[in-house]
Amino acid sequence: MKKHLLTLALATLSLATHAADLTFSGQAANHNDKIVIDFQVAAGAEVSLWTDSWQSGLNFDPQLYLANGGSIVSADNDSGSLVHAGAGYFDAGLQFTAATAGSYRLVLNASSNDAKGATLAQGFAYDGDTPIRLADWNQPGYDINANDQKGGFWRLNLSGVQQAAVVPEPASLVLMLAGLLGMALVVRKHQGER
């Protein structure tokens, strides 16, 4: 029995270290929204990251920024179709081989919301702007005759990563913490009534 448990534990551990293909998707609402995904890779991993959300102009034109330790190490605006056949002409994509095991941060936002410097901490061009709904925004690459790039759908594919997770926006964290605090106060009130 112990031998079987040890074998099962080793098999589970080995599965956890294998690279995976993951997909995340959602809806952006405004021109300055940023989707942030943290992921880990093993040394020597062949990593591919690409969007397939542009969908012939139905949604915004995405771009990707890849950071390691806060420093931007790579960026792409329109080469998603070179990375993966499922990506459209204006999708974004990046490929790299991880020299060492480590953590990376990927930022997906609308094309033209460019990084202000070589680190994520320096921010992006539209960070101080009043949010404009994507449905109302004329992205610089938009075609006035087609009235395209008005949707907010995004999908990001990661291949060769060990694990990944979407990082909540600070505003979402504040709302979540407020909700948890409210629930804790209700529970405390009910416990005090007993």
Q: Count of residues for the chain?
A: 194
Query: Distance between CA atoms of 29 and 35, rounded to whole angstroms?
Result: 11
Q: How distant is the alpha carbon of residue 116 from its chain centre? A: 19
Q: What is the pLDDT of residue 49?
A: 97
- Token readout for 92 is 């974004």
Q: What is the pLDDT of residue 145?
A: 83
* Of the candidates 93, 60, 96, the residue with the CA atom closest to the CA atom of residue 78: 93
Q: Which helix (H) or strand (E) holds 172?
A: helix 170-192
Does domain 18-192 sit in CATH 2.60.40.10?
no
Placement of tokens 């139905």 in the chain: 58
pLDDT band at 159 (very low <50, low <70, confident <90, very high): very high
- Token readout for 88 is 């459209």
- Token readout for 142 is 């938009």
Q: What is the pLDDT of residue 178?
A: 56
Q: What is the pLDDT of residue 175?
A: 46
The CA angle 166-14-73, to the nearest 5 degrees, is 40
Least confident range from 38-42, 141-145, 161-165, 169-173: namely 169-173
Per domain, the residue ranges of the chain are: 18-192
pLDDT band at 185 (very low <50, low <70, confident <90, very high): low
Placement of tokens 């209700």 in the chain: 186
User: Alpha carbon of 79 to those of 49, 52, 133: distances in Å?
Assistant: 11, 11, 26
Q: What are the pLDDT digits (tens) for 59-107?
A: 999 999 999 999 999 999 999 999 999 899 899 999 999 999 999 999 9
